[in-house]
Amino acid sequence: MNFSLKNHPFTVEAFFEFSLVLTFAVPINQLKDLIPSCLILDTLDDKWAFIAIAVVKTNGLRPKGFPSIFGNDFNLLGYRIFVKHTNAAGKQLRGLYILKSETDKKIMEILGNIFTHYNYVKTDVKVVRQKNLIEVHSLQSGLKIVVVDGEAEVLLPINSPFADWKDARRFAGPLPFTFNYNKRTKEILTIQGVRENWIPKPVKVLINNISYLKELGLNDVVLANAFILEDIPYHWKKGRTELWHN
């Protein structure tokens, strides 16, 4: 595969019907080896690092500027670590490092792996929304998430390391940058996402069975926060690369 093709060679746009994000706190030493050396973990109290799963229901995903007829609708799952990177200009950027992505359609798996480094895998993920309940499940991925949306008051998850929802909101974005590192070329790839209407709303989590977290061998994982965002026009800019000098 031509690596230049995988470096987000054009701008992509989509409309997010909703994005549901569950963020988990993990002891720092368990995540530090999962990211490349050009990144550092985005941490809390020098104790916790964070890994999240995002469930995104997208409409009309297509190269920016293409007519809507070329767009496709997908259910997407993204597993990512919260990180920071200092670029060549000396500016520190907060963002995400993608571990794995899943989708309900083969075409997204194929095109996603041609034009990105997001490691797409097709799975049987289904998203069902009924009144104030959202259920996400996949037998293939060993995943089941159930949340309540719309309660007047939502408490932080039990044992969350955040003091309150304002504290938790720092790890609900917008974190506009996504990073990837090519060991062969020693280049870091930065992709910037641009959103509108980014208003995270806390949700109550009833079930969060996520096999992938167990596959990573993580222990002492704590649900830290859960937010939903709705009706979001979104686009990803063309990727930018720069050499990493460590």
| pLDDT above 70 (res 168) | yes
Residues 109-147 have pLDDT tens digits of: 999 999 999 999 999 999 999 989 999 999 999 999 999
Q: Is the pLDDT of residue 3 over 60?
A: no
**Rounded to an integer, what distance in angstroms lies between the CA atom of residue 236 and that of residue 11?**
6
Smallest Cα–Cα separation from 82: which of 148, 123, 139, 24? 24
The band of 201, judged by pLDDT with boundaries at 50, 70 and 90, is: very high
Mean pLDDT of 69-73: 91
Name the residue among 70, 84, 2 with its Cα closest to residue 36: 84
Return d(Cα 207, Cα 209) in angstroms, integer. Answer: 6
CA dist 134 and 127 (Å) reads 7
Confidence of residue 70 (pLDDT cuts 50, 70, 90): confident
pLDDT of 151 above 90 = no
What is the reported pTM? 0.94
What is the distance between the alpha carbons of residues 95 and 89, in angstroms, rounded to a whole number? 17
CATH ID of 3-243, from 1.10.8.60, 2.40.400.10, 3.10.20.30, 3.30.930.10: 2.40.400.10
> What percent of the chain is modeled with pLDDT above 90?
82
The per-residue pLDDT for range 29-49, each reduced to its tens digit, is: 999 999 999 999 999 999 999
Q: Is the pLDDT of residue 236 over 60?
A: yes
Domain ranges of the chain: 3-243
CA atoms within a 13 Å half-sphere pointing along the CA-CB vector of 142 = 6
